[in-house]
Amino acid sequence: MATNPGLFTEWPWKKLGSFKYMLLAPWVAHGWYEVATKGWRNADLGYLAILPSLILRVLHNQAWITASRLQNARGRRQIVRRGIEFDQVDRERNWYTLSILSIASLEDDQIILSGILLYLGALYMPGGQYLPLWRADGAVLIALLHAGPVEFLYYWFHRALHHHFLYTRYHSHHHASIVTEPITLLFSIPLIACALTGTASIIAFEVYVIYIDLMNNMGHCNFELVPNWLFKWFPPLKYLMYTPSYHSLHHTQFRTNYSLFMPFYDYIYNTMDKSSDTLYDNSLKNKEEEVDVVHLTHLTSLQSIYHVRPGFAEFASKPYVSKWYMRMMWPFSWLSMVLTWAYGSSFIVERNVMKKIRMQSWAITRYSFHYGLDWEKEAINDLIEKAICEADKSGAKVVSLGLLNQANTLNKSGDLYLLKYPKLRARLVDGTSLAAAVVVNSIPQGTDQVIIAGNISKVARVVAQALCKNNVKVIMTNKQDYHLLKPEMPETVADNLLFSKTGTAKVWLTGDGLDAAQQFRAQKGTQFIPYSQFPPRMLRKDSCSYSTTPAMIVPKTLQNVHSCENWLPRRVMSAWRIAGILHALEGWTEHECGDKVLDMEKVWSAAIMHGFCPVAQD
- What would the mean pLDDT of 287-315 be, rounded to a whole number? 86
Helix (H) or strand (E) holding 330: helix 330-343
Are the beta carbons of 410 and 377 closer than 8 angstroms?
A: yes
Spatial separation of the C-alpha atoms in residues 224 and 394, rounded to whole Å: 23
How far apart, in whole angstroms, are the C-alpha atoms of residue 189 and residue 524?
Answer: 66
pLDDT at position 234 is 95
Residue 6, pLDDT score: 54
More confident residue, 86 or 379: 379
Please check the confidence at residue 336 and state whether its pLDDT lies above 80: yes
Residue 160 pLDDT level (bands cut at 50, 70, 90) = confident
Of 166-180, 306-320, 411-425, least confident by mean pLDDT is 166-180
Over pLDDT 90: what percentage of the chain? 60
Task: Look at residue 265 and tell me whether its pLDDT is greater than 60.
Answer: yes
Among 63-72, 77-86, 110-119, name the one with the lowest average pLDDT. Answer: 77-86
In which band, very low, low, confident or very high, does the pLDDT at 7 lie, cut at 50, 70 and 90? low
Q: Check whether 392 has a pLDDT greater than 60.
A: yes
**pLDDT at residue 296 tops 60:** yes
Mean pLDDT highest for which of 254-268, 272-286, 600-614?
600-614
Q: In what order do the strands lie in the sheet with 398-401?
A: 347-354, 357-364, 293-298, 398-401, 427-429
In this prediction, residue 617 carries a pLDDT of 64
Q: In this predicted structure, what is the pLDDT of residue 95?
A: 43
Closest residue by Cα to residue 158 from 268, 63, 259, 301: 259
pLDDT at 474 over 80: yes
The 3-class secondary structure across 47-87, one letter per residue, is HHCHHHHHHHHHHHHHHHHHHHHHHHHHCCCECCCCCCCHH
pLDDT, mean of residues 111-120: 88
Q: CA 178, CA 414: separation in Å to the nearest integer?
A: 41
Higher pLDDT, 296 or 1: 296
pLDDT tens track for 165-223: 555 544 444 444 433 333 334 468 899 999 999 999 999 999 999 998 899 889 888 88
**104 pLDDT higher than 50:** no
Give buried/exposed letters for 29-46 (b at 16+ CB in 10 A, else e): eebeebeeeeeeeebbeb
Nearest to 421 by CA among 393, 447, 394: 393
State the average pLDDT over residues 269-295.
90
- Give 59's pLDDT tier (boundaries 50, 70, 90): confident
For residue range 364-380, list pLDDT tens digits in order: 999 999 999 999 999 99
Mean pLDDT of 484-499: 91
pLDDT of residue 107: 55
601 sits in which H/E element:
helix 600-609
pLDDT at 4: 56
pLDDT per residue as tens digits for the range 554-589 = 999 999 898 899 999 999 999 999 999 999 999 999
pLDDT at 197: 95
Global pTM value = 0.85
User: Which residues, including other chains, have CB under 8 Å from residue 22's CB and lie 6 or more apart?
Assistant: 16
pLDDT at 85: 76
- pLDDT at residue number 114: 86
Architecture, CATH, for domain 449-552:
3-Layer(aba) Sandwich (3.40)
Can you spell out the DSSP letters for 528-559? EEE-SSSPPP----SS-EEPPSSEEEPPTTSB
The whole-number average pLDDT for the span 315-342 is 83
Helix (H, G, I), strand (E, B) or coil at 509: strand
Indicate the average pLDDT of the chain. 87
User: At 492, which amino acid appears?
Assistant: T
- The predicted structure's pLDDT at residue 92: 61
Average pLDDT over residues 537-556: 92
Of 323 and 320, more confident: 320
pLDDT tens-digit map of 446-464: 999 999 999 999 999 999 9
Q: What local confidence, expressed as pLDDT, does residue 84 receive?
A: 75
pLDDT digits (tens, 9 = 90+) for 519-540: 998 889 999 999 999 999 998 8
Pairing label, strands 357-364, 347-354: antiparallel
The per-residue pLDDT for 176 is 46
So what's the pLDDT on residue 424? 94
Q: Which of 381, 321, 391, 320 is nearest to 361 (CA)?
A: 391
Give me the pLDDT at residue 188, please. 83
pLDDT over threshold 70, residue 283: yes
Q: Where in the chain is the domain with CATH 3.40.50.720?
A: 449-552
pLDDT band with cut points at 50, 70 and 90 for residue 9: low
Split at pLDDT 50, 70, 90, the class of 618 is low
At residue 8, the pLDDT reads 58
Q: What number is the average pLDDT over the span 496-506?
A: 87
